[in-house]
Amino acid sequence: MIHVTIYQNDQEEFVGFLTDGHAGYSEEGSDIVCAAASILIINTMNAIELYAKDPCTLVTNEETGRIAYHLTNGHPSDEAELLLRTMVLGLEEMVDDNNYAEYIDLTFEEV
């Protein structure tokens, strides 16, 4: 199962996330749940770097599925906030889909 924790500051702005695990929906290389979550997450990080330019930290471990991503300013730019909210929307849609809900969970944590 993919576990995703979304980090929010005290103003409920998204300031990062942590992913752990693999979906286990199908074999590696043909797992559509893993592919969908990965593209949402990786595209968000790439878009923030390209369009928002918010400083961040990133630690990854492909073997465990770990991605620890944190914006370091404490408050996201408007662009970064929109991109993170869009990522969360996509992940929430996956969690709410009966076909995929058992392969991904999503929690929110104030930091």
Task: Write down the pLDDT at residue 37.
Answer: 97
pTM of the model: 0.94
pLDDT in tens, 79-98: 999 999 999 999 999 999 99
Where residue 77 sits, what CATH number does that domain have? 3.30.70.1490
Q: What angle (nearest 5°) sits at the alpha carbon of residue 17, between those of residues 79 and 8?
A: 70
Task: Write down the pLDDT at residue 28.
Answer: 86
Let me know: does 54 contact 69? Beta carbons within 8 Å: no
Q: What angle (nearest 5°) sits at the alpha carbon of residue 52, between those of residues 50 and 43?
A: 50
Overall number of domains in the chain = 1
Q: Which residues pair with 60 in a beta bridge?
A: 67
- The residues, any chain, with a CB within 8 Å of residue 7's CB and separated by 6 or more, are 14, 15, 16, 17, 18, 70, 109, 110, 111
* Cβ atoms < 10 Å from Cβ of 25: 19
Segments forming the whole domain that contains residue 96: 2-110
Residue 42: in which H helix or E strand, if any? helix 32-47
pLDDT in tens, 24-48: 999 988 999 999 999 999 999 999 9
